[in-house]
Amino acid sequence: MSVVRHRLGSHGFPVEVRGRHFVGFSKVARILGPVMSESSEVPSSPRQRLLARMRAERDALAARIIDRARAEIPDYRTVEAADLLPTTTAIMDRLFASLAGTADAESSEGTRMTDYGRIRATQAVSMEALLRAWRLAERLHLETLSAVAADCGADDAVLFEITRDLLELVDDAAASFSDAHHEVERTRTGHDRIQRAEFTRAVLAGTLSATELTLGIQRYGLRADADYRAFRARADAAPPSEFDRLLRPQGADYAFRTVIDGDYAGFTDRTIPIPGAALLAFGPPRPLAQAPLSFRLAGRALATAAALGHTGTCEFDGLGLLPGVAADPELGAELVRRYLAPLGSSGSAATLIDTVTAYLDTGMRVEATAQRLIVHPNTVRYRIARFEELTGCDLRRAHTGAQVWWAIRYDRLVRPGATNFASAN
């Protein structure tokens, strides 16, 4: 009794081995259909003799095809020759049977080729590599036909006829196995997309162990020593397909993305500018182990920028103290009551606030403020003095200037459409 062993084929499935013969061969034969048996009759016509000779050359030709494919096509080097041989010889038998008119009439050639495409896809052979191998096999078949035609008494007319029929069969087969291969790739792509989204969600939530994070970095080709920016956007910013397009400028895909609490979320190694009315907020750059911090700050940046009516891309780094203003409404309301409410609600109050804003933004330089507002410097001096008189403060004191700036920003944040900055609190 022969010893039965098992090993994993390159496609990841167990293959039963008895001695040096693969049981997988018979399984592939069942998938790809019955093959024609050798006839005991002596072929009478040149076409029959030529096809009989091709069947006799089958094993040697199959070995040449596989050797050339593994030598010239990288995807085929990852699959052992023994795992390629069963499907190769089975397909050759189907082609020879069809050329000889002895193929199983009840079997569907399209179905056989479809199974062949699925098998190659599960062996991680890309569509491009599969088509290259198919063209290689076609050339080697034609070379062999030409080399043995004379020995079989086949003239140019017979050779041309068989070549034409072979090329038609090859074209039909390619269409069938291509569709099947694409179907497997789409299924695999969908599965990979789900796994990538789950990895992204775990990175942003900080639920991965150090080992899991390292494995994920290696799997997805990330850099352990690089910084990445987390991002967040409202789900109503754009439809999912449109948002994916915005994240892939010029077709390049730099972003890992998912959905968290109904929002688009993810991380990338660069800030991605987006046009239009959508708003995309980025946290500060951090190593992936600190991505949860970057993601939290991206959320604060998003809330602040949305409240200010911003669109496009914004970075937490560029918002300064505004996220703090937005995050502490009690402090903001108190500062508005202290520094803006005394001004009243008239148009002159808005003029004073505009002047103080420009004065603080220019580093409290009167001349620069006057140029910005297109007024005389003395007008600026009068307005600043009037503001200090009504509020009882001294803007030259650093902490006072910071509090007034905070009050103005908070009032604009909570009442962006107001015509003046006096609070209703």
Q: In what order do the strands lie in the sheet with 4-8?
A: 4-8, 14-18, 21-22
Query: What pLDDT sits at residue 320?
Result: 82
Query: What pLDDT sits at residue 63?
Result: 94
208: helix, strand or coil? coil
> Is the per-residue pLDDT at 113 higher than 70?
no
* In contact, 59 and 25? CB cutoff 8 Å: no
Q: Of the candidates 271, 23, 267, 265, which has an alpha carbon nearest to the alpha carbon of residue 14?
A: 23
What is the C-alpha separation between 276 and 254, in angstroms, rounded? 20
Query: What pLDDT sits at residue 101?
Result: 82
The CA-based angle 97-57-143, given to 5 degrees, is 95
Query: CB-based burial of residue 374 (10 Å sphere; 0-12 exposed, 13-18 middle, 19+ buried)?
Result: exposed
Number of Cβ within 10 Å of residue 82's Cβ equals 18
Confidence (pTM): 0.52
| 17-34: pLDDT as tens digits | 333 333 343 444 443 444
* In contact, 356 and 349? CB cutoff 8 Å: no
Query: What pLDDT sits at residue 106?
Result: 44
> Is the per-residue pLDDT at 393 higher than 50?
yes
What is the C-alpha separation between 372 and 374, in angstroms, rounded? 6
The CA-based angle 96-101-105, given to 5 degrees, is 105
How much of the chain, in percent, has pLDDT values that exceed 70? 83
How much of the chain, in percent, has pLDDT values that exceed 90? 39
Task: Give the model's confidence band at 98: pLDDT under 50 very low, under 70 low, under 90 confident, else very high.
Answer: confident
Query: CB-based burial of residue 234 (10 Å sphere; 0-12 exposed, 13-18 middle, 19+ buried)?
Result: middle
In angstroms, how far is CA 97 from the centroid of its own chain? 44
Name which of 23-27, 62-66, 126-130, 179-183 the model is least confident about: 23-27
> Is the per-residue pLDDT at 36 higher than 80?
no
Q: What's the per-residue H, E or C state across 285-323?
A: CECHHHHHHHHHHHHHHHHHHHHCCCCEEEEHHHHCCHH
> Identity (one letter) of the amino acid at 218?
Q
> Is the per-residue pLDDT at 126 higher than 70?
yes
What is the C-alpha separation between 170 and 17, in angstroms, rounded? 32
209/253: higher pLDDT: 209
Helix (H) or strand (E) holding 1: none
The partner residues of 10 in beta bridges, in order of sequence, read none
What is the C-alpha separation between 68 and 190, in angstroms, rounded? 32
Mean pLDDT of 153-160: 90
Tell me the CB-side half-sphere exposure of residue 42, using CA atoms within 13 A.
2
Query: What pLDDT sits at residue 128?
Result: 85
Query: What pLDDT sits at residue 41?
Result: 52
Q: Of the candidates 345, 380, 382, which has an alpha carbon nearest to the alpha carbon of residue 364?
A: 380
The partner residues of 282 in beta bridges, in order of sequence, read 231, 315
Name which of 151-160, 177-186, 349-358 the model is least confident about: 177-186
Query: What pLDDT sits at residue 170?
Result: 82
Angle, helix 210-219 to helix 156-205, in steps of 10 degrees:
150
Backbone φ and ψ for 157, nearest 5 degrees, come out as: -65, -45
> Strand 312-315 and strand 279-282: pairing?
parallel
**At which residue do the structure tokens 């910084």 appear?**
227
Torsion angle of C-alpha atoms 160, 166, 172, 175, degrees rounded to 10: -110
Name which of 10-19, 31-40, 74-83 the model is least confident about: 10-19
Backbone φ and ψ for 256, nearest 5 degrees, come out as: -95, 125
Tell me the CB-side half-sphere exposure of residue 98, using CA atoms within 13 A.
23
What is the C-alpha separation between 342 and 365, in angstroms, rounded? 24
Residue 119 token pair? 């098998």
Question: How high does pLDDT run on average in the chain?
Answer: 81
Query: What pLDDT sits at residue 189?
Result: 67
Within 8 A by CB and 6+ apart from 303, the residues are 323, 326
Query: What pLDDT sits at residue 21?
Result: 35
